[in-house]
Structure 1
C-alpha cells in the first residue's frame, strides 16, 4: 500500500517537472534530455533536475522588492555626475558592443579611467596590498575562492588595523568555492569588526536548489577610487603554486576612475542579496573630483537570473565583430553551440583566430571536455596552443588592436548560464597592443596543436572526450 502512495507522489512530482520543462524549457534538445533523465533514472533524475536543470531565469533568488531596489540603484549609477553619459567610439563594431553591454548589464562605457594590467600573483597582490594600506573609508571584497594561508593571514592583520582606524570592511565569499574557509577564521574576522557573508551557503532545504549556482566574481573596491578584478583568487597557490599543477599563471586588472563605481555597484547589489542590508544601495556614490585617465572601460556582469546571458552575448559579439584577429586565453574553452559556430565562422572568414589553453588542467573532466572541441576548431582553421608550464588560468580576449576583455568569466556554459561573473571591457589600442604582444610571446613558449596529428589520436582519447563532453554544462 505504501509503495503505491509513494509511486503516485513520485509520478505527480515528475509530471509537475515535465509541465515546467514544457512551459519554461528554452532549448528543445536540452528539454528532451531532461525528460528522458526524469523518467529513466528513478528519484535520481528528479534530484538532478532540481539541482542543475531548472531554468533559473524563471526562478530568481531575487523577489520583487529586491528587483525594485536594484533597478533604482542602477538608475542612480547612470545619473552620477562623475560618469560620462555618452562616448563616441571609433568604429561601428565598438559602438554596437557598447550598446549591447549597456542593454544587458546597464552600464555605459566611461572614458575617465586608468587601466593597469597585472600579470600573475606577485604583481597583483603587491598592487592590492598597496591600495588596501592606503584605504581611509572602506574596503569591499568579493571572491569565489578565499583560502586560508599566508595571504589570508596578512589580510586579517591589515583588516584588524584598518577597522580600528575607522575603515569599514565588508567581505563576500562563495559558499562552495571557499568551502575550506574555516569557521575559526570567519569568527576572527567578525571579532575585529569585519562584516562577512557567504554567497548561497550550504543550507538544508536550499541545498539542491542552490548548489549549482555560484558567485565566481573577484572584486576589490577601495574608497570608490581603486578597483581590482580578473582571474586571481585569494590563495597562496598564485604565489607559490601547488604540488600537482605547479605555478598558476593569471591576469588581473587594476582600475582607477569612473569604472570603479560600476564595479562597486556590482558588489553593492551582491551585498544586498547576501545580507539583506540595502544601506549600500542608498548611499550617495563618491564624486570624481578630477580626471585620472583617458581609457574607455565598460563593466559587464551577469548571472543565471538574467534572461539573456550578458557574458555569453559579449563573447559572441567580440568574435563576430573581429575583422583581423581575435586571440583568446582561457583554461576552460567549453563553448557550447553558439560560441563554437561563431569561432568556426570567424576562422573560415579569414579572421586570425587563436586559442591559448593550459596543457594541464585542475580537473580530469575539464581536460577532456576542452580537448573534445579541438578537432572542430582545427578543421575550421582555428589555431590552438597549449601552454606547458604550470597552470594557465587567465581569462583574456584581445581583438583588432582595439578591444580587450579581462575578467572572471571562462568561455564555457557554466560562466554563461550558471555562475555570477564580471568582466571589464577596455576600448583602448595601447592596452590591446600590450596584451597582443603578451599573447604572441606566450604562444612562442607553447605547443601548437596540429590537425593531422590530433585527428589520429588514440581511440581511447576520443572516448574520454566524448564522455567528458556530456558533462560540459556542469564543469
Structure 2
C-alpha cells in the first residue's frame, strides 16, 4: 500500500509538471488540449506518449545545438540579380534569416530523374573525387549499390582521401554490423544519427535525420529524394520501381550544402571540421548558370524553416503552383494556403503516388483530398510504381528539389534540406516533366470522389488522427 501511495504521488507530481509545461510552451490550443486529455485519461501511457511525441523541442532544445562556425562560411549574399531579388525577396529574406544562407550564383544544376540516372552521376563524381567525400542518408540499405559504394570507398581511402558518412539509425535499421565494420575497416569515418540509447530514448526516438547529401571535394553536391537502395533500380515486390528526383549542384552553392553536413557531423561526432574554401570550379562560361539557395530545417531550429518556405512559395504564386510529393498530410497552415491559392485563381496541381508504402499513411493522405478538391486543387494519382519525389515549381521562375515531405514529421520532427533554384529555364524543365507525368496519371473528380462510402471516410478520418506522427 505504501509503494502504491508513493507511486500515485510521483505520478501526480509528474503529470502536474507536464501540464504546467504544456500550458507554458503549448503550440496550438487544440494540440495542447489533446495532450491534456491524454495525460488525464490514459494512466501512465499518456505521460509516456507525451514524453516520446509531444514535447515542443523548439522550445525545450532537447538536444542542445551548438553554434558551430566554419572557416570560409558561405552565409553571404550571392549577388542574385535585382530582378529576381525583387520578385522573390520575401522567400530569399525568409530563408536568409532562418538559415543564414542567401542565393549564390554561377551554379550548374542538373536534374536527375529516377535511380539509374542519379546513381550514374553520383558514382561518376565519386570516382573522380580528389580530396574528400561526405555522405549522409536517411535510408542506407545493403545490396548491390551499397557493395559498390564500399568497394569505391576502400579504393579512395587507399588513395589518401577522407571519406565520412552519416546514416540515420532508424531509417537505416537494416544496416548490418558486418557492413558497418567493413566501412570502418576500410578507413571510412562513419557515425549513426541518434542511435538507440537508454538515457535519451524518449527524447530522441521521434527525431530523425531525413537528409540525403553527398559532397565531393566541395565542388559537386547531391541532394533530393533518392536514398541508397536497390529498389530504385530493381523495384519493390509490392510497389514496383520507385520513381524520384534528385539534384546535382556544381558551384558555390555546394558550400551551403556542405555546411549542413558539417553541422550534422559535429552533432554525431563532436568533431568540428572546417568548410573547405573552393575558389576554382573549372566551369565553362554558360548561360545555364543558376542562383541556388539552400534551406535546411530541424527540430532544434527556432522556426519550422522548410514549412515556412513552402508556405511562402504557395502564397507567393501568381499563375501556377505544381507540387509532386509522396506524403501530403499538410496540417492546417499549408492546407489553408493551398486552398486560398486555388480559390484566388492560381492553377494549383498536386501529383501523388496512387499506391504508397504504408496503409495508414495512404488513408491519412486521402483524408486531405476532399478539402483540396473542394477548393479547386487538381489532384493526380501516379499509377506506375511508387512516386517519391519532393518538388514544387511555380510561375516559371522558382523551384525546389529536396528531401522534405508535406507533413508534420518533415516540418517539425525531421532534419531536412532543400535546394531553391531561382531560374526560368530550370523551372520550365520541372514544369514540363510534371505535366508529362500528369498526362500518365489519373485525375480525381471532386463530385465522384465525395461519393465514396462512409466506411472509406471512417478509415480516412481515423488515419488522419495519427497524421502528426506518421
Instruction: Give TM class, smaller chain.
Output: over 0.9
C-alpha contact (below 8 Å) 1:383/1:448 kept by paired residues: yes
**Residue aligned with 1:313, SS:** helix
For the residue of structure 1 that corresponds to 2:74, the secondary structure is helix
**Residue in 2 aligned with 1:32?**
33
Matches within 5 A, 1:217-228: 217-228=211-222
Alignment match, 1:8: 9
In 1, the alpha carbon distance for the partners of 2:432 and 2:80 equals 31
Pair 1:369 & 2:354 matched: no
Give yes or no for contact 1:147–1:234 (8 Å, CA) kept in 2.
yes
* CA shift digits 1:391-450 (9 cap, x unpaired): 000000110000111000001111111100000000011111111111111111100111
Q: Which residue matches 1:467? A: 462
Q: TM-score scaled by structure 2?
A: 0.97
Inter-CA distance 105–273: structure 2 relative to 1 (3 Å threshold): same
- Give the Cα–Cα distance (whole angstroms) in 1 for the partners of residues 47 and 87 of structure 2: 44
**For residues 362 and 231 of structure 1, do their structure 2 counterparts lie closer, same or farther at Cα, with a shift above 3 Å needed?**
same
1:185-224 CA-to-partner distances (Å, cap 9, x unmatched) read: 0011001100000000111121111111000000000000
> Are residue 95 (structure 1) and residue 89 (structure 2) matched?
yes
CA deviations over 1:303-362 (Å, ceiling 9, x no partner):
111121110000000000100000000011100001000000000000000000000010
Offset at residue 85 of structure 1 (A): 5.2
How has the CA–CA distance of structure 1 residues 74 and 231 changed in structure 2, closer, same or farther, with 3 Å as cutoff?
farther
1:76 corresponds in structure 2 to 73
Instruction: Select 1:321's aligned residue among 307, 316, 320.
Output: 316
Partner Cα separation in structure 2 for residue 90 and residue 108 of structure 1: 13
Offset of residue 283 of structure 1: 4.8
Q: Tell me which of 433, 436, 444 is aligned to 1:441.
A: 436
Please say if residues 74 and 106 of structure 1, whose CA atoms lie closer than 8 Å, have aligned partners that are also in contact. no
Report the equivalent of 1:277. 271
- Give the Cα separation in 2 of the matches to 1:89 and 1:105: 23
Which residue of structure 2 aligns with residue 430 of structure 1? 425
Contact 2:80 2:291 survives alignment (8 Å): no
Residue 131 of structure 1 aligns to a residue in which SS?
A: helix
Q: Name structure 2 gaps, 5 residues minimum.
A: none
| Aligned-residue RMSD, C-alpha | 1.4
Counterpart CA distance in 2 for 1:110 and 1:77 is 9
Q: Distance in 2 between matches of 1:85 and 1:321?
A: 22
d(CA) in 1 for partners of 2:455, 2:141: 37
Normalised to the residue count of structure 1, the TM-score between the two structures is 0.96
Counterpart pick for 2:333 among 318, 334, 338: 338
Q: Distance in 2 between matches of 1:91 and 1:202?
A: 45
> 1:118-151 CA distances to partner (integer Å, 9 max, x unpaired)?
0000000000000000001000001000000000
